[in-house]
Every structure is written in structure tokens, then in C-alpha cells.
Amino acid sequence: MPYKVLVIPGDGVGPEVVEAALYVIKAAASKYGVDLEIKTAEAGDAALRKYGTAMPPEALKLADEADVIFKGPIGESAYDVTSLIRMRYLLYANIRPVKNLPGVPAVKEIDCVFVRENVEDVYVGAEYRVGDVTIALKVITEKGTRRVARVARKYAEMRGRRVTIVHKANVLRVVDAFFRDVAMEELRGLEVDQMYVDAAAMELVRNPKRFDVVLTTNQYGDILTDLAAQVAGGIGLAPSGNIGDSKAMFEPVHGAAFDIAGKGIANPIATILSAAMMFEWMGRKDVANAIRVAVEKSIEKGIKTPDIGGDKSTIEVGKFIASII
Amino acid sequence: MPYKVLVIPGDGVGPEVVEAALYVIKAAASKYGVDLEIKTAEAGDAALRKYGTAMPPEALKLADEADVIFKGPIGESAYDVTSLIRMRYLLYANIRPVKNLPGVPAVKEIDCVFVRENVEDVYVGAEYRVGDVTIALKVITEKGTRRVARVARKYAEMRGRRVTIVHKANVLRVVDAFFRDVAMEELRGLEVDQMYVDAAAMELVRNPKRFDVVLTTNQYGDILTDLAAQVAGGIGLAPSGNIGDSKAMFEPVHGAAFDIAGKGIANPIATILSAAMMFEWMGRKDVANAIRVAVEKSIEKGIKTPDIGGDKSTIEVGKFIASII
Ligand SMILES: CC(C)[C@H](C(=O)O)[C@@H](O)C(=O)O
Ligand SMILES: CC(C)[C@H](C(=O)O)[C@@H](O)C(=O)O
């Protein structure tokens, strides 16, 4: 049975980086014998303009049928596509590994994995306006916290190291304290520490090496992972996987970057490394590693985009990596 | 009429940095003829242990009577002291200037002022637990947004530059969009742009020079200002002022730092620069500038604490700065 992969190219630089990654995905699948059935769907700002909805019924149907979604960045309508997919399929753990790549200038040395809760927090979309007052609900549940904490446990056991729970329980004494306490319980037996989110932002610049597995809520994770990616050498390199119990979605951490769209200069590495995570999720760590090695080789050989000091195009990088896999 | 100043030394390194700053405050007040009536109150973790309440009635009474509060960091009970003071006296604008100091190694060049909304957002303390579900309200009001936006306008006019509104309106389509829209209206006529909070965290590391005045909500401001302080050279240097219509509180951005408390190595500069902000708030820009110049001179002369490469103690730095004012 082939894996049903739905590709959503997305907006801005999305179609370019996804095209580059597809060279790699196809080369890897054929070389390593992974059976993929790839379909494509339009979703995002362009779909909104064209069909009046950012996630057209056709895209939704294909997403429902797919085993896994491989997605480029979405523009202004990201909540209607990215967040919708995360919530509809309960992709409750957003895995964002952050690690320097050899040959890429970085702010500091860093090697950690963020496990970001992905379907609760202020992201649930429960917002109200009453006259000149607006209110959004920040929701944290026991079930939601336990399941994502179990994912953090898995990563900590794999890496044999510590989990840092990031929260703001000194101010959010009910919800953030609940997240911390339930997570603590779920992580019992492991080495666990905790940090306030403001201090964590600072530490990610001051001493990022102190982080290993970071478990945090949805919005703190959103903010800290962009920051951490920048510390590691730039948002053009940061992959992610949105994982549920039966489905998953892989996508670069970066956004649509409309300012450089169509210029062929967007770095496809974040998207290509997201493809590596997808193969790992399929149980093919060998393929994932082959892609990672090929990415490192391409950088070593200078086949890289301008953001990391090269002069190659998005597609050239993708094709090169595909060719040496 | 003297200014009634209530000093709250606070927890951890608080008493040390506040003592050092008091040398400077007293020297400056006497040299420049500022009439201060200084009282002191216990509040924070130590007060909680001693009196069973972090903000004892005596401290509250003195705070009610004071024109201005000068405060060290508070430990675990910060919400009951720091946030209480902010909300009780409606100190709705938290002003956090971030600027490199000559001679202090920094991550990047930065020169901006954060105007952080200080009494709304998830900080209002409206939190609930119902069984295994917890909920906190994120509250943003028109009135609250207008008044803090007016403060941002004042700073932008003073500096003659741009305001960047930081929010997450692509996800928080009601509350953050409301904050943005009301702020935009209030800032009409100025150069204004906007950025998502995750992108802002990244940009503060990638290209911090692009920020001038940053207007944002309470919790984003909490996170981003710690980060920005680290980019500028460390949290030991970052001052802040909590400003309302008739009262104010000045305090360092850093926390109680229990790990180095009592060692005499905490950097008093954040607290001393907070004193400069206090004099400026009193209408004495001359005194504020004199303190800033003395701080820079002390660093230049190597009279500095270990965190910025010196070997002097907290009090030595305070006394030296006081002596050259
Ligand atoms: C685009 C947006 C909805 C999304 C988020 O905030 O989660 C993005 O920033 C991310 O981190 O994946
Ligand atoms: C201690 C805490 C209540 C406070 C806050 O989060 O506002 C602190 O972090 C700050 O930034 O002043």
C-alpha cells in the first residue's frame, strides 16, 4: 500500500521550495523503494482569491483521504489552512528540531527539539467582541497536555536527555501552572526542569546549548521556535512536523516571504528537511538520514542559496540534493 | 513639595542592586537639588514568609501615598507585588528602552524603545479551572489600547521615527486585530508598520536595528523585552518604567536571580538606569542624562561587574557612579 501524500504548495515562496523538495522526495522514494502516491491541492491566499475559500472543499477532501500532508507556507490565510489542518486532524504535537548545520554561520551553538502543543491555547479560536472589549480564551486541558507531554517523553528518551518545560505559571497561575503540573506528572522519572517563557527567550540567545527537549504551549512555541531557528542560522533551515495519532503534516517553519517570492532565491532546505522528517515518520529513518547527509554535502560544496552565502537558486539546490541522494 | 519615593528592595539580588542605585539617587538628588522623601517597604517572597502576604498592608499604604515607586526585582510572588502595583495604580505603559552601552559586548546593534501594554491581556488574572479544563481570558479593550498607543505616539514623536505594532492578528483575529486596528487609528499620521510576534522575535536577533518604537501587548512585551535586552548585551543593563496618568514605578527588567543573590556580583546598572528614567519622569532630564553619562564612564573606566567583564562588586559600581555624577 502506498503512502498517500497530499502536497499543498502554498503561497509566496511556497510553490518554489515545495517544487525543490519534491525533486528530493521523488529521488529518495525511488532510490530507497518507498511507495508514495502524491496528489496536489490548492490552498491558501491564492485559493482564497480564486475560489473564495482558503481551504476549498477539494483540498479538504484530499486532506481527509491522505495519510500525510506535505505543505509549503501559507500567507495571510494561514489560520484557515495550517491551523485548520492541525485541529481537524488533531495533530497535537508540533516537532521542531533546531540544530546548526555545518558551514552555516550561526548566532550560537544549539541542538534541541521543541515539542510545541499544537491544538490548544489561544489558538482554539474562541474569541469575542462585546462593544469596546475583546476577549480570547486561552484553553489548556489535561488530556491535551498529557498527550503532548508523552511525545516530549519519547524524544527525551531517544536523546537520553533533559526536558525543559516552558511556561509562565508565575502570572498564569491556573492555566500555565496546570500545563506544568500535568506535564511534570507525565514526565516523571526523566530529568525535567522548567523555565519562564521570558527567561527562555533570553536564554535561547545567551546560552542555547542548555536546551535539549523543550516542551511548551502553542503560542510560546510559535514565538520561541522562530527565535531558535534564527539562533541556529536562519529560518530558511528550520523544518517541522505536526504529529497526531494517525496523521501528520510536514512543513517549513518559515512563512510565505512574499518579498522574495518568484525570485528563485528562497532556501529550500527547511522544506527538504521537513521531507526528511516525513520519511522518518513513515518509519524510514534510513531515507531521512540520506536526505540530511545530502543537505549537508550540498552546503559543503557551496550549492546554496544567497541567505546562507551562496549564489544558487531554489531549484538548483533541490535538484543537486536530489542528484546526490 | 518633595517627591514621595517608595523604595521596595525586593528579593534575591534586589536589595543589593537597589542599595547600589540608592547611592546614585541620593548623590544625584543632592547635587541637582531634587527634593525626595524616601521611604522603604518590604514586599515580595521574603515579606510573604515573614507576614504571610507578599504585599503587606503597610507596603500597600506607603505605595498608595507615594508619588513614585522604585522597586527591585521580586521572586516567585512577583504577580502579587509587581503586577498588583501595575494594575492598582493603572500604570498602563511599560517603557523599556533597549540600547547598546559602549564597551559592553552585544549580540547586535540595537536602539529601540518598547512600549508594552501593562494592565490587560492574559495578565488580568481571570483564570478558571473546570474539572480537567483550564481557561484564562485574554482581554484587550479599546480604552486600554488607546491610552498605551498614545504613549507610543509620544515616544515616536520624540525620536522622530517609526512605530512597529507587534501582534498575532493572523491567529487572534478578534483581540489582536482589535489591538492593531485601534493602535493604528491612534497613531495616524506617523510612520507605522506591523509585525507578527513570532517574526518579531526572529527579527530582534536577525536585524534589531530595524526597530525603533515597538508597541505591543502585555505578554508579547514581556517575552520580547527580555530577548531584546539580551541582544543589547544582557539583562543586567535593561531599565524600565511603568507609567500611569499620575503615578509611576521604576524597576530593572531582570528578575531576582536567586542563584547569585548575596554574592555582591549582580549588575546594578539596570536599576541605576531605572533611576535615571525616574528622574526623567520627574521632569529632570538633566539629572537623567547625568546618571547615564556616569554609567557610561564607569564602564569605560572598567568599574563593572563580572557579567560584563569586570571584577567590581555591585556596591562598588554604585558608589563609583554616585561619586562621579
Ligand atoms: C502561520 C501561523 C498560523 C503559524 C502559527 O502561528 O502557528 C506559524 O507561525 C507557525 O509557527 O507554524
Ligand atoms: C515577574 C513578572 C510578573 C513580570 C512580568 O511578566 O511582567 C516580569 O517578567 C516583567 O517583565 O516585569
pLDDT digits (tens, 9 = 90+) for B264-320: 999 999 999 999 999 999 999 999 999 999 999 999 999 999 999 999 999 999 999
Cα(B122)–Cα(B137) distance, rounded to whole angstroms?
6
Which overall architecture, per CATH, does domain B1-101+233-325 show? 3-Layer(aba) Sandwich (3.40)
Cα(B88)–Cα(B106) distance, rounded to whole angstroms?
36
B6 has a pLDDT exceeding 90? yes
Question: What counts of helices (H) and strands (E) characterise chain B?
Answer: 12, 12
CA dist list (Å): B151 to B154, B216, B225, B246: 5, 12, 17, 14
Do B1-101+233-325 and B107-232 show the same overall fold? yes
pLDDT value, residue B260 = 97
B160 has a pLDDT exceeding 90? no
CA distance A232 to chain B (A): 11
- Show me where the domains of chain A are located: 1-106+235-325, 108-232
A35 Cβ contact list (under 8 Å, min separation 6): A1, A2, A3, A29
Cα(A134)–Cα(B178) distance, rounded to whole angstroms?
7
Q: How far is CA A172 from the centre of its chain?
A: 26
- Alpha carbon dihedral A95, A99, A103, A108, in 10-degree steps, equals 140
Check: CB of residue A180 under 8 Å from CB of residue A171.
no
pLDDT value, residue A161 = 83
CA dist list (Å): B213 to A60, A235, B111, B184: 42, 24, 9, 14
Q: What is the CA radius of gyration of chain B?
A: 19
Q: Catalytic: which of B222, B247, B312, B319?
A: B222
Instruction: Tell me which H or E stretch contains B137.
Output: strand B133-141
Give catalytic status of residue A222 as yes or no: yes
Tell me what the pLDDT averaged over chain A comes to.
97
User: Do the Cβ atoms of B199 and A171 come within 8 Å?
Assistant: no
A67 Cβ contact list (under 8 Å, min separation 6): A3, A4, A5, A247
CA angle A87, A88, A91 (to 5 degrees): 55
CATH of domain A1-106+235-325: 3.40.718.10
User: What one-character DSSP code corresponds to residue A98?
Assistant: E
Is domain B107-232 given the CATH code 3.40.718.10 in the classification?
yes
Query: Which residue puts its alpha carbon closest to atom 5 of ligand 2?
Result: B222
Cα(B85)–Cα(B81) distance, rounded to whole angstroms?
6
Ligand 1 binding site (Cβ under 6 Å of any ligand atom): A 78-79, 82-83, 222; B 170-171, 198
Confidence of residue B216 (pLDDT cuts 50, 70, 90): very high
Q: How far is CA A91 from the centre of its chain?
A: 11
Ligand 1 atom nearest the C-alpha of A118 is 7
pLDDT value, residue A187 = 98
Written as nine digits, the cell of A299 is 552546503
pLDDT value, residue A69 = 98
Cα(A269)–Cα(A318) distance, rounded to whole angstroms?
8
CATH match for A108-232 among 3.40.50.740, 3.40.190.10, 3.10.129.10, 3.40.718.10: 3.40.718.10
Whole-model pTM: value is 0.97
User: Which residue stretches of chain A have pLDDT < 50?
Assistant: none
Check: CB of residue A269 under 8 Å from CB of residue A303.
no
Give catalytic status of residue B35 as yes or no: no
Rounded to 5 degrees, what are φ and ψ at A5? -105, 120
pLDDT value, residue B51 = 97
In what side-by-side order are the strands of the sheet with A111-117? A36-40, A3-8, A68-71, A248-252, A239-243, A93-99, A111-117, A213-216, A163-167, A192-196
Give catalytic status of residue A319 as yes or no: no
pLDDT value, residue B161 = 83
Say how many C-beta atoms besides its own lie within 10 A of residue B206's C-beta.
Answer: 16
pLDDT value, residue B85 = 98
**Best to test chain A binding among B84, B94, B110, B122 (most A CBs inside 10 Å):** B122
| Pocket test residue of A74, A81, A82, A91 for ligand 1, highest count of atoms within 8 A of CB | A82
